[in-house]
Chains A and B, each alone.
Chain A
Amino acid sequence: MSSRQAFRASNRFGLGPRPDELRQIGADPRGWLHQQLAPGPRFQPWLSTVAPSHATLGDLLQKFYQMRSLKKAQQRGDSRQASLAEMRRELKKSLIRTQLQQLGARMQVGIETEAPFRERLVHFWSNHFTVSTAGGKRLLVTSCTAYEAETVRKHLDGHFADMLIAVEQHPVMLAYLDNLQSLGPNSRAGRRRSQRGLNENLAREILELHTLGVDGGYGQDDVTALARIITGWTIANDRQIPGEPGRFVFMNAMHEPGTHRLLGKDYAEDGVHQGERALEGLAAHPSTSRFIATKLVRHFVADEPPAAAVEHVAKVFRNTDGHLPSVHGSLVDLDECWRPQEAKLKTPNELVVSALRGLDFSRLPEKRLLGSLELLNQYPFTAPSPAGWPDSTEHWGSPNALLQRIDWSTQVGKRVGSARQPRTLLAHMSNPTDDGALRLSVERAASASQGIALLLAGPDFQWR
């Protein structure tokens, strides 16, 4: 019994057991989980090498201006074509290099952390507040990991409203959802430039994806009102937008003046605080607690979230003003999470991380780590839309995706080979409720490589 609960805790809430994790969890899986929610200093050496987002964005801005003056010189006839093309090439190479290093470090956290429940929650919230380099935002590639750290990791022990404000004021989010040049039509800048105006993209996604949810009870008027409220939320470039390049700044000249009514509440002019109050209002809206609870229950219980569980988590959210540790803790205490029947399919990211945790096979070159995710179609920060990666068997369990997982597992088996004993791996990587088919199959494997491939590619390992 207790080993089943430990297995469930490690897979459903954690990222899959490392070799002696089940033993560490012991007879108190819920305690193991609650303890990870306690705030406190967390030593994460792997992420110390990731530069803060204002540094990478500021640096990009500087390069952009350099290239622009080179281009102007080129158009005037200065023959500096070569240096412009070369600058572009160098920039591209350095972005790729840095991105790989950052994403590798981030994966290392997943593989080695002893607080995997916490790391899973980081991934959940990072996906909820998705930023992506797909869709033409490739310049953000070296800032996404820092974005996640500066918003989600930073506020995981606080209230939802704090994380929400940090996200919507973050330069990467403002760039991703096109708020940088959104102008209030009656702002000083808006009245001068008749062609540029309000961009509603970020406001719409805040309502639809970050807070109330698509059926949460807002209308087009609310989208427009929120868009007006956050005009002027942009990134400093130390030119027409004063401030340290790469940092969030409130630019009054771009802001739509006046009081704005959002979901029946009036928000008076108050500089940047107008928007912060508005976001707090959204965080406190009853639809938000329900929307967030639904997503959390979908993630931890089942693709079809049971209504009672959703209601319970939503209530905790409301009663604690969105105190995240309390909300997360309420999931641990949900009976539904511990029932054997409900299974969740692992995403490619979860498959790769759980495989490497179970094999205790870290220190792989970044290219290989990230290459696996690319092959399995879940490269970090490339979700196809602001809705983020889906959380369902439907999406990840397509026939072709299964074949890709099998191919990948075969390669891992070949690579690891006899460095690991499949039969020892069974101890922590096979489900105690298993009917024995896997154990038999692995024991009869023709080689260690085949045994490992069977373990990773088999149906049991696809579920958590």
Chain B
Amino acid sequence: MISRRNFLRTLAAGSLASTVPGLGFAAPGRGRQRLVLVILRGGLDGLAAVVPYGDRAYESARRGLAIAPPGDPGGLRDLDGFFALHPMLRALHAHYGKGELAAVHAVASPYRKRSHFDAQNVLELGLATPGGSRQGWLNRALPLLTAESARHAEDYAMAIGQSVPLVLRGPEKVGSWAPARLPGPDDDLMERLVALYDGDPILGPRLEAALNAERMAGGSLSGRGRPGERFGRLAEVAARMLSDTAGPRIAVMEAGGWDSHANQGREGGALAQRLRRLDEGLSKLAAGMGPAWPHTVVLVVTEFGRTVAMNGTRGTDHGTAGMVLVLGGAVDGGRVLGDWPGLAKGRLRDGRDLAPATDLRSVYKGILRDHLGITKADLESRVFPASRAAPAMSGLIKA
């Protein structure tokens, strides 16, 4: 059975180029910059990913979850003498060493309750409270980004995965790509269908866009991978598309399963395995970007952190502040940023959570301003309304 992707190799390669006007006159610094947003759903335990082992209260506050210090076999990977990465984040540690990874700790969105649904809503809408809009902040940013580059939003931003996440949803249409879940038509059938679709002025161009996206995705992926491999495959596709000069500039991916209420593990265990797959996926993404890597920022976020202390089922519950990873050739990395509130009991929020020191929107704004060139005025008025309390964070992006 020949997949539709093989069929594409027989399509004239010129069709995609015709949908995207010449890239040459895109403003420098606007035309080449890439942004990947990775949303980890479920509330990643930031204290297990970027570990404040230098905090005096670490061992006692995290009894049962504390990870072996740097130097111990299988122990933490030191960053700056105070913070360290989980042992499974090997590739990320290498990027840190090259100055391509920054972490921001004690970050939280303005949301202060503990519902996944509402917290993710706030994460993706970029507002202070859940609800109140059906347009994600990236969707709001799109007209500002595409204005100068003479591209359409759907050629500029892609959702990579089965659904378009809320952060990209809204009046601006975006592109999307998902791996096929069923075997598709053979070449002959596809050819006949393309002929039929030629006669439909609305659906015809969309089918063409879909087949072009398939071509950009590389055509070597078909069917479902094992669940654990999915993120890695999506990351490969994202890299392939973003590194294509005629391809999109923004990609959004998501990975779930971070809601570690039970048996979280430490150096090993369930969370460790997930972190390993995240690390591998991000590594594939970085490798796949090729010459576009120096112009790339990958932002990894989650809706909230988790409780400092272990709960009754050897895991953690929903918390408040967590960490954000900023990875890429364009990043001014090799540092852990943000004010550190501390893990001593008196410093915790509600006596249980890491207290927030930085608003997540500050991180978003810093990247949109310094990497993608959106003005402060536009950020305050159009992309993140009512966000005066969260000024843009400087220093994330190389000058």
- Contact residues of B between 112 and 152, Cβ < 8 Å to A: 115-117, 131, 134
Q: Shortest distance in angstroms between A66's beta carbon and chain B's nearest beta carbon? A: 19
- Residue in A closest to B177 when the chains form the complex, CB atoms: A400
Give the one of A375, A400, A438 with max B CB within 10 A: A400
Min CB–CB distance B330 → chain A (angstroms)? 29
Let me know if B131 and A404 touch, CB within 8 A: no
> Is A453 within 8 A of B196, CB to CB?
no
List A428-445 residues whose CB lies under 8 Å from chain B.
435, 437-438, 441, 445
Query: Nearest residue in B to A393 (C-beta to C-beta)?
Result: B202
Q: Are B188 and A402 in contact (CB under 8 A)?
A: no
Contacts A404-B181, A462-B203 hold; do A377 and B193 have CB atoms under 8 A apart? no
User: A377: nearest residue on chain B (CB-CB)?
Assistant: B163
**Pair B189/A459 contact, Cβ less than 8 Å:** no
Q: Does A458 contact B (CB under 8 A)?
A: yes
Name which residue of chain B comes closest to A205, CB basis: B131
Contact residues of A between 126 and 148, Cβ < 8 Å to B: 135-136
From residue A76, how far is it (CB to closest CB) to chain B in Å? 12
Taking A135-B117, A402-B207, A459-B204 as contacts, is the C-beta distance between A387 and B185 under 8 angstroms? no
Tell me if A398 and B176 are in contact (CB < 8 A): yes
Q: A375: which of B116, B177, B182, B196 is its contact (CB, 8 Å)? A: B182
Report A442-464 CB contacts with B as 1/0, cut-off 8 Å.
00011000100110011110100
Is A411's CB within 8 Å of the partner chain B? yes
Contact of A377 with B162 in the complex, beta carbons under 8 Å: yes
- Contact of A69 with B by CB under 8 A: no
Chain A residues with CB under 8 Å of B209's CB are 399
- Per-residue CB contact flags for chain A residues 383-406 toward chain B (1 = under 8 Å, else 0) read 011010000011001111011101
Nearest-neighbor residue (CB-CB) of B163 within chain A:
A377
Asked if A204 CB lies within 8 Å of chain B CBs, one says yes
Q: Say yes or no: is B178 at the interface (Cβ < 8 Å to chain A).
A: yes
Chain B interface size band reads 35 or more
Residue of A nearest to B118 (CB): A135
From B164, which residue of chain A is reached at the shortest CB distance?
A: A398
Cβ-defined contact, A453 with B207, below 8 A: no
Instruction: Determine the distance from Cα of A384 to Cα of B134 in the docked complex, in whole angstroms.
Output: 11
Distance between B132 CB and nearest chain A CB, rounded to angstroms: 9
B180 is an interface residue with CB less than 8 A from chain A: yes
User: A98 → chain B, closest Cβ, in Å?
Assistant: 24
**Interface residue B226 (Cβ < 8 Å from any Cβ of A):** no
- A407 in the interface (beta carbon within 8 A): yes
Assembly CA distance A136 to B114 (angstroms): 12
Q: Is the CB of B213 within 8 A of A75?
A: no
- Closest chain A residue, CB of each to CB of B132: A204
Are B193's CB and A454's CB within 8 A? yes
Instruction: Determine the distance from Cα of A404 to Cα of B204 in the docked complex, in whole angstroms.
Output: 15
Contact of A408 with B by CB under 8 A = yes
B11 at the interface (CB under 8 A from A): no
Q: Which residues of A contact B195 (CB under 8 A)?
A: 437, 441
The 5 closest A-B pairs by CB, nearest first: A399-B210, A459-B200, A135-B117, A399-B209, A407-B182
List 4 other contacts, CB 8 Å, given A201-B131, A407-B185, A437-B196.
A136-B115, A397-B202, A404-B181, A457-B185
29 contacts across the A-B interface (CB closer than 8 A):
A136-B115, A136-B117, A384-B166, A394-B173, A397-B202, A397-B206, A399-B176, A399-B207, A399-B209, A400-B178, A402-B206, A402-B207, A404-B178, A407-B184, A437-B196, A438-B196, A441-B192, A441-B195, A445-B192, A446-B188, A450-B189, A453-B189, A454-B192, A454-B196, A457-B185, A458-B193, A459-B196, A459-B200, A459-B203
